[in-house]
Structure 1
Amino acid sequence: MDIVELFSPVVIAVLGSCVLFLFLRWQNLRGPPCIQGWVPWIGAGFEFGKAPLEFIEKARLKYGPIFTIFAMGKRMTFVTEEEGIDVFLKSKHVDFELAVQNPVYQTAWIPKNVFLALHEKLYVLMKGKMGTFSMHQFTGQLTEEFHEQLEALGTHGTMDLNNFVRHLFYPATVNTLFKKGLFFTNERKIKEFYQHFKTYDEGFEYGSQLPEWLLRNWSKSKRWFLALFEKNIEEIKADKSIEGHSGTLLQAVLDIVELETFQHSPNYVLLLLWASLANASPIAFWTLAFVLSHPDIHKTVLEGISSVFGTAGKYKIKVSEDDLKKLPLIKWCVLEAIRLRAPGVITRKVVKPVKILSHTVPSGDLLMVSPFWLHRNPKYFPEPDSFKPERWKEANLDKNAFLDCFMAFGGGKFQCPGRWFALLEIQICIILVLYTYDCSLLDPLPKQSCLHLVGVPQPEGKCRIEYKQRT
């Protein structure tokens, strides 16, 4: 064998590597700027994970509105302004189900084949059960549930506003959507539920991406909920406690799930629990915090409530859909709080390359549109960092149309099916709290936490409320 024959495989390998390297470089030149880091697989993961919103803000200033971050073996391409929204919402080359399937498995142990078989059926069900024409079915029970929880708070007190809202929302939502009486009444069990849900919710984003053995407390809370629901699943399915009962949302969900699998019913209960509590409760917190920290808005809201329901605190009022229509400012306040505290990202998976401006986003990327920054675009939202509920006068809310570039509930085929229920329960909660109590904040309005991209951001630090029953 001569020297040429000996080295020809090596030469071919080297040349092949060079060609591949140059091809990848050329492909990357066509794609958005990429922040890769230096550690294999982890990439920019450590720095990105410390404070994702701050990391993205710096990336926007340096690279522009479209850029890619490589972290934990994934390429995430962020679109932080309006460019690319049409691609995100309408292109057949981006896929919602493939983007969320793995996080669903990580956080609720629902296998890919089960999730893909059931997702669209369950979405259609929930869209119907929680559509605008179905909201009248929930108003009476939600009002009763919130009254019951307000009575438990007593005539006066001081507590953290976030805990105050959770005390109202968790039992009211669970008893309405899942099963009346499913939520604990034992004080020790209630505290245990709150602690486990707080741990599960705060770790949800990490749990959706990282190996479970790195998140011991989060894993423990997930298992606690799965065990709780497995124990109660038959009782939930058999519940007929509500007068004129036509089945709760959860019962309807389980009917469809069990056509495919009995094994994963508790897993879907857990997923629905997180979806129903994780965002609505913090938005109710932010709405109350914004209203109470703006005295002029607070005064106008109270005047509106008194004009509809009479002397505040005097009666155990019932709230109807007609009553809500007479109080548009409260809905504007909720939507403005959602605008200012929207999720950092909503996600699709690129299945075929798509072009956004001059960039080609390759297949395999997670395409991340950012409601958080879209809602801060002064072109669509003048004075974007200010709480200005009156801007929602311009929206055609009677026809359920939001302002342009408002993306908090996602969009396209799989827009959030629970958005109308969430808006309803938040409005009812705000009305009953302000009707029942004279409320004031004892701390300044807190900043939002920059630790998470998924879901509504939590407050950074405490925000105490003092409440006294109106007489």
Structure 2
Amino acid sequence: MLSFLNTNIIFFSIFIILAYFIWNKWISFHVRTNKNTPPSPQKLPIIGNLHQLGSSPHRTLQALSHKHGPLMLLHLGSVPMLVASSAEAAREIMKTHDLIFANRPKLSIPDTLLYGSKDITFSPYGEYWRQVKSIAIVHLLNSTRVQSFRQIRETEIALTIKMIENRCGSIIDLSEFLVSLTNNIICKVALGRTYSGIKFKGLLRRLMHVLGVFSFGNYIPKLSWIDRLSGLEDQARKVAKDFDDFLEGVVEEHVNNNRGVYDKSYEDQDLVDILLDVQRQNQTGFSLQRDTVKAVILNIFAAGTDTTFTSLEWTISELIRHPREMEKLRQEAIEIAQGRPMILESDLEKMQYLKAVIKESLRLHAPVPLLVPRESTQDVKLMGYDIPAGTQVIINASAIGRDPNLWEEPDAFKPERFLNNTIDYKGLHFELLPFGAGRRGCPGIQFAMVVNELALANVVYKFNLALPNGIKDEDLDMSETNGITVHKKLPLLVMATPRF
């Protein structure tokens, strides 16, 4: 009898456990299926929507958004990826729910290149990131500090103008001149002197190339062997080592030069000097380690050179294709300069058409068309959709810049649309987001844009530019490369004629 009772108790217990398990599964399924998730394209097993990204993801995702809406959910392997393609969606993510979406996903290649993501751009949201960004804003990229580098900018641009003058009458690779210009300015500002030369420029190109390569391991862990087989992991480690060797030498040189001497004038300090000074004083209680110093310098250096150069290249290319707009900008420069040999930084505030030209170029050619991914830290309701914690988020700045609901003739180059228009690129207007917005917006906007404005104003003021070999202006090839920063696929070759 006792045995019978025990058996019944056992079976009853098993029944209760199974019933609870089935009920719990049913509830979970019911809750899950009642979640209002954003629309999604059809996905494949294992790879999800990876096959739909194509060679130009920002263009492909823009096309998909026309079908599925401005907020859509993709699955890159096992990772849910929310794609925002409208100003309204971007505002919800980067303003209304900015704190929830302030985190960065952990990505293996930036982690390898940037000392475990100890930089500003890729470090996860938290106290470390707040401290590092605060140092950048307060000590490195504030208005007074940016202004202190004025002489460097004006001197380097004058040297570039002189080199172009010496090549007048022959075909000029203007892209190469612009790379050298931005590289030299950033080198002097960040490192104290120029590091030109093929080897150094090649190192920077390798860094940006590896950063832009898709890593299978981040999205399909079982296929991480592809990153090893393709050589991506080895490339990343090699670039990281080469850059670390270079930066270690730079920092050590500064330490030795400044040993016992901390009274450099404000204008004479470069960014390494400033970071080492912050490290020495340790006023905030935040310990600034050597790897953090190198990560921040590498971050500013790579981003400052690459995005500034590509913005200049696209803007000049658009002006060559649109002679009327080129002439209108030149006339503004002539009026402002009043016969002086160069446009100065003090002139830039008066050049409203110049600013309109650059805004229009950034609208059409966002340097980083897919902003650096974010990641949600908690469940959130977004435009009526349920977004779970741990969802990666991409803002398609390129699609927003060409949204026909926001812009008349969205694919046309029309700088006049920004005259008498308050829309700006500083993160307050979500129709124009080349530098992002919110907590994770780019802190170096002011520094980058003064270089852009000054260089563009002087090139247009000093030279007439034409395409070589009788190529018509409108036939200039505007094909794009693929990567984290989108460049012109072909270098900008021109014939330059001095105006005076």
Q: 1:280 aligns with which of 308, 323, 337?
A: 308
Deviation sequence 1:249-296 (CA, Å, 0-9, x none): 343234446733224433332222212112111001111111122111
CA drift of 1:32 comes to 1.0
Q: 1:201 aligns with which of 208, 216, 240?
A: 208
SS of equivalent residue, structure 2 residue 213: helix
Q: Which residue of 2 aligns with 1:187?
A: none
Aligned length: 457
Q: Which amino acid aligns with 1:31?
A: T
Contact 1:54–1:450 under 8 Å retained in 2: no
How do residues 329-408 of structure 1 correspond to structure 2 at under 5 angstroms? 329-342=353-366, 343-346=368-371, 347-396=373-422, 405-408=431-434
Taking structure 2 as the reference length, what is the TM-score of the superposition? 0.79
Contact 2:153–2:451 under 8 Å retained in 1: yes
Q: Which amino acid aligns with 1:166?
A: V
How do residues 78-89 of structure 1 correspond to structure 2 at under 5 angstroms? 78-88=83-93, 89=95
How do residues 247-266 of structure 1 correspond to structure 2 at under 5 angstroms? 247-256=269-278, 259-266=287-294
In structure 2, do the counterparts of structure 1 residues 273 and 38 end up closer, same or farther at CA, with 3 Å as the change threshold?
Answer: same
Q: Which amino acid aligns with 2:495?
A: E
Distance 1:275 1:293 in 2: 27
Deviation sequence 1:293-339 (CA, Å, 0-9, x none): 2111111222222223245xx84x36132x11222211211111111
In structure 2, do the counterparts of structure 1 residues 101 and 52 end up closer, same or farther at CA, with 3 Å as the change threshold?
Answer: closer
Q: Which residue of 1 aligns with 2:71?
A: 66
Q: 1:429 aligns with which of 455, 468, 490?
A: 455
Contact 1:106–1:208 under 8 Å retained in 2: no
Q: 2:436 aligns with which of 396, 406, 410?
A: 410
SS of equivalent residue, structure 1 residue 377: coil
Larger CA deviation: 284-293 vs 265-274: 265-274
Q: Which amino acid aligns with 2:205?
A: K
Q: Which residue of 1 aligns with 2:220?
A: none
CA drift of 1:77 comes to 0.4
How do residues 6-45 of structure 1 correspond to structure 2 at under 5 angstroms? 15=22, 19=26, 22-23=29-30, 26=33, 30-35=36-41, 37-40=43-46, 42-45=47-50
SS of equivalent residue, structure 2 residue 464: strand
In structure 2, do the counterparts of structure 1 residues 441 and 19 end up closer, same or farther at CA, with 3 Å as the change threshold?
Answer: farther
RMSD: 3.6
Contact 2:103–2:376 under 8 Å retained in 1: no
1:173 maps onto 2:186 in alignment: yes
Contact 1:162–1:285 under 8 Å retained in 2: yes
How do residues 97-108 of structure 1 correspond to structure 2 at under 5 angstroms? 97-99=103-105, 104-108=110-114
Q: Which residue of 2 aligns with 1:158?
A: 171
Deviation sequence 1:150-172 (CA, Å, 0-9, x none): 33443424233322311221112
Q: Which residue of 2 aligns with 1:267?
A: 295
Larger CA deviation: 155-164 vs 330-339: 155-164
Contact 2:39–2:73 under 8 Å retained in 1: yes
1:300 maps onto 2:322 in alignment: no
CA drift of 1:389 comes to 1.1
Q: 1:122 aligns with which of 101, 122, 132?
A: 132
Q: Where does the alignment leave 5 or more consecutive residues of structure 1 unmatched?
A: 185-189
Contact 2:80–2:391 under 8 Å retained in 1: yes
Q: Which runs of 4+ in 1 moved over 6 A?
A: 1-5, 7-14, 100-103, 239-243, 397-402
Distance 1:46 1:126 in 2: 39
Distance 1:404 1:84 in 2: 9
Q: Which residue of 2 aligns with 1:227?
A: 245
Q: Where does the alignment leave 5 or more consecutive residues of structure 2 unmatched?
A: 1-6, 218-223, 281-286
Q: Which amino acid aligns with 1:371?
A: A
CA drift of 1:209 comes to 6.9
Contact 2:62–2:85 under 8 Å retained in 1: no
Distance 1:24 1:38 in 2: 24
In structure 2, do the counterparts of structure 1 residues 209 and 466 end up closer, same or farther at CA, with 3 Å as the change threshold?
Answer: farther
CA drift of 1:82 comes to 2.7
Q: Which amino acid aligns with 1:445?
A: L
SS of equivalent residue, structure 1 residue 98: coil
Q: Which residue of 1 aligns with 2:351?
A: 327
Distance 2:119 2:415 in 1: 44
Distance 2:275 2:445 in 1: 17
Deviation sequence 1:110-133 (CA, Å, 0-9, x none): 357994554222322333443445
1:51 maps onto 2:56 in alignment: yes
Distance 2:270 2:88 in 1: 41
In structure 2, do the counterparts of structure 1 residues 397 and 407 end up closer, same or farther at CA, with 3 Å as the change threshold?
Answer: closer
1:446 maps onto 2:495 in alignment: no
Distance 1:366 1:398 in 2: 27
In structure 2, do the counterparts of structure 1 residues 202 and 370 end up closer, same or farther at CA, with 3 Å as the change threshold?
Answer: same
SS of equivalent residue, structure 1 residue 183: coil
Distance 1:207 1:108 in 2: 17
Taking structure 1 as the reference length, what is the TM-score of the superposition? 0.84
SS of equivalent residue, structure 2 residue 269: coil
Contact 2:315–2:358 under 8 Å retained in 1: yes
Distance 2:440 2:378 in 1: 19
Larger CA deviation: 325-334 vs 110-119: 110-119
SS of equivalent residue, structure 2 residue 149: helix
In structure 2, do the counterparts of structure 1 residues 10 and 398 end up closer, same or farther at CA, with 3 Å as the change threshold?
Answer: closer
Q: Which residue of 2 aligns with 1:466?
A: 495
Deviation sequence 1:191-213 (CA, Å, 0-9, x none): 12222222221331326775663
CA drift of 1:423 comes to 0.9
In structure 2, do the counterparts of structure 1 residues 117 and 252 end up closer, same or farther at CA, with 3 Å as the change threshold?
Answer: farther
Q: Which residue of 1 aligns with 2:153?
A: 142
In structure 2, do the counterparts of structure 1 residues 399 and 384 end up closer, same or farther at CA, with 3 Å as the change threshold?
Answer: closer
